[in-house]
Amino acid sequence: MPSSEIKEKDSIRLRSNTYFILSLICGVSFLLLLTLSGPLYFRYKIPYPGFSSFLSGVILLSVNLAILFGIVGVMQSRLQRKIASWEETLGKSIKIQEGEFKDRQATLLQMIRFLVGFIESKDPYRGGHSERVCQYALKIAESLGITNGRELNDLVYACYLHDLGRIFIPRHVWDKPGELTQEDYQQIKQHPVFGETVLSTLPGLVTIAQFVRHHHEREDGLGYPDSLSGNALPLIPKIIAVANAYDAMSSLRPYRPPFPPEVAQEELRRCSGLDFNADIMSKYGFKSQSERRFDPHVVTAFLGNGKKIWGISKKKIMVVDDNYLTCWSLATIMTREGYEVTTAENGIEALEKIRERSVDMVITDLIMPEMDGFELMEEVKKISPAVPVVIMTCYYLPENAREAKQKGAFEFVEKPLKPEKLQEIIRKALPA
Ligand SMILES: [Fe+2]
């Protein structure tokens, strides 16, 4: 409803209320006069002359007031009906606007998940990282008793976007197998600032841009980029810092194997000043004295409530298709399910990535330039014979299905692959 109509509705409501009060006064006066006038005259026989004229005047006035009362009552009921109809229209309009707003929010979040999932799927070491950080962070928020919808919404957006600035740092710096130089480290330290710079240009994401900027700050003030500490650091970046560190520690990196969950948890304890098990840490070569990187309350919340998701599936799936939209959509669906997804545009790229880092399953298109799905499957089986390979095609022919079966394909399916069918195949190929 336009704002001019809302203003008019308010003024009518005011008038209607005034009429209502007026009608009430009229009605009460009428009844009072009618009740008092008769007894006054007949019981006390007031002696002064002209009393009967006074009484006639009172009765006349009462009749007039009664007529006025009736008119005002009718006017008020008509106004009330008009207000009720306006309120109904306004309610409908608000509901439509709320629905549209929610739809837009959901679409924006889905788009962000698509984009982030796709960018991460290009990196053999970080597939699904932001999705898992978000799951860990929501568990921490639940444990800390955060129920405010706005805060939770900001947390989700900040989790998905926390490493956006990484796209501006050369990949060879991130994936360096050896020690980082001082120069490399200075470049890496810029990624929260780059992320904030991009996000702060979008009016709806200015607050989230600040959370992204601070996700590498530390409780002791030794973090970057602004060396914030303690209460100067908002809660959301503190939560992301813990979730991010846990996922990074429990994931493979080019320079080290993933830490077992109990080691990653001990490291969180050690780095928050909480009691930790020095024996476990020394076994894995960690320093035994504690640090103060993380807020101990946030770490305690995570350790107390994260159990259900510590065993989150991290099976690695490779999607190979020269159609990037297929790679993108499949990567998004599987990342959401907790899998680490890597994509490749052709068989040669896929084999390079598989040699660099093994995968648990391959889903490939049949018809691709240079190397088709059957040839790729043969090469994959030479590297990892037990890896299930699913072949997809837009042109389903029974002879191709037979050939796929003979050559050892796990499934031969028609594209586009529906999410339910995809989940069913993965569950069969990679039982928990
Ligand atoms: Fe980061």
User: How far is the centre of ligand 1, averaged over its atoms, from the C-alpha of 248 (Å)?
Assistant: 10
User: How far is the centre of ligand 1, averaged over its atoms, from the C-alpha of 346 (Å)?
Assistant: 30
User: How far is the centre of ligand 1, averaged over its atoms, from the C-alpha of 171 (Å)?
Assistant: 14
User: How far is the centre of ligand 1, averaged over its atoms, from the C-alpha of 106 (Å)?
Assistant: 25
Residues with Cβ within 8 Å of residue 17, at least 6 apart in sequence:
none
Residue 161 main-chain phi, psi, to 5 deg? -105, 0
User: How far is the centre of ligand 1, averaged over its atoms, from the C-alpha of 164 (Å)?
Assistant: 8
Amino acid at 54: F
User: How far is the centre of ligand 1, averaged over its atoms, from the C-alpha of 268 (Å)?
Assistant: 17
The pLDDT assigned to 328 comes to 79
Would you state the structure tokens that stand for residue 117, as one six-digit string?
A: 């999932």
User: How far is the centre of ligand 1, averaged over its atoms, from the C-alpha of 188 (Å)?
Assistant: 9
The answer to whether the beta carbons of residues 293 and 268 sit under 8 Å apart is no
User: How far is the centre of ligand 1, averaged over its atoms, from the C-alpha of 242 (Å)?
Assistant: 11
User: How far is the centre of ligand 1, averaged over its atoms, from the C-alpha of 74 (Å)?
Assistant: 69
Would you state the structure tokens that stand for residue 84, as one six-digit string?
A: 């009720």
User: How far is the centre of ligand 1, averaged over its atoms, from the C-alpha of 432 (Å)?
Assistant: 30
User: How far is the centre of ligand 1, averaged over its atoms, from the C-alpha of 426 (Å)?
Assistant: 30
In whole angstroms, what is the distance from residue 224 CA to residue 237 CA?
Answer: 12
Residue that the structure tokens 């904030």 belong to: 196
| 292 strand-pairing partners | 272
**Digits of tens for pLDDT over the chain (432 positions)?**
556 666 666 776 677 677 677 767 767 776 776 666 666 666 666 555 566 666 667 667 777 777 777 777 777 778 778 888 888 888 888 888 888 888 888 888 888 888 888 888 777 778 889 988 998 999 899 989 999 989 999 999 999 999 999 999 988 888 777 778 889 999 999 999 999 999 999 888 999 999 999 999 999 999 999 999 888 999 999 999 999 999 998 887 777 778 888 888 888 988 888 876 777 767 666 666 778 889 999 998 888 865 555 555 578 899 999 988 888 788 878 877 778 888 898 999 999 988 887 889 999 999 998 899 999 999 999 998 999 999 999 988 889 999 999 999 999 999 888 888 998 999 899 887
User: How far is the centre of ligand 1, averaged over its atoms, from the C-alpha of 305 (Å)?
Assistant: 23
In whole angstroms, what is the distance from residue 109 CA to residue 138 CA?
Answer: 15
Would you state the structure tokens that stand for residue 143, as one six-digit string?
A: 């444990």
